[in-house]
Amino acid sequence: MSQFNIYSIQNAPLAAQPLLEGAQQKFGFVPNLLGGFAESPTVLQAYLDIGALFDRTSLTPVEQQVVLLAASIENHCIYCVAVHSMLAKHKAKADAAIVNALREKQPLPDKKLDALATFTHAMVEQRGKVTGIALDNFIAAGYSRAQVMEVVLGVTMKTLSNYANHIIHAPLDSQFQAEAWDAPALCSKQCA
């Protein structure tokens, strides 16, 4: 059981209320994870600011979702995998085969996106110490050195939310239930 509250706009700390109102306008509801972040309005603001910056990178919306999903999968964040699966399919219009391959940690049907996912997995798994073949393959796939830094930004965003959610244990919102993901099942196949 979590020791953290999932705040609504009405009962959140005052500094978090306008931030949650913004989430309400953007999503049509306040996602539970953001309600959990409201415990610290500064952390909530940081997460929203990083997300806004990541949206402005040179990565396409589909590429952004590949980064966010791959990092969340590597960190076994059940909540964030469901959210970004939904956003990838419905907001970024990613092909379902790409999202499903990511969720199963299988090669992606698009070679460039597969290089992006592989690089992102390596960034998380190796705690940023990605050099040699992994970096060379990412650049050879057509990505720039600037995009290396943009992947770091996306991983930073997901590290914040994934780690915080491991502590908060935000229940998955009904709006994301169709994309529920089972990390333990995946881990039992590939983490042994």
Query: Domain boundaries in the chain?
Result: 58-190
pLDDT at 191: 42
- pLDDT classification of 88: cutoffs 50, 70, 90: very high
Q: pLDDT, tens digit, for every residue of 157-171?
A: 999 999 999 999 999
Q: pLDDT, tens digit, for every residue of 47-86?
A: 999 999 999 999 999 999 999 999 999 999 999 999 999 9
pLDDT at 134: 84
pLDDT at 184: 58
Q: Is residue 101 scored above 80 in pLDDT?
A: yes
Average pLDDT, the chain: 92
Q: Which residue pairs, CB below 8 angstroms and at least 24 apart, start in 109-115?
A: 111/141, 112/141, 112/142, 112/143, 113/62, 113/63, 113/66, 115/140, 115/141, 115/143
pTM, whole model, 2 decimals? 0.91
Looking at 42-51, 82-91, 125-134, which range is the least confident one? 125-134
- pLDDT classification of 22: cutoffs 50, 70, 90: very high
CATH number of the structural domain 58-190:
1.20.1290.10
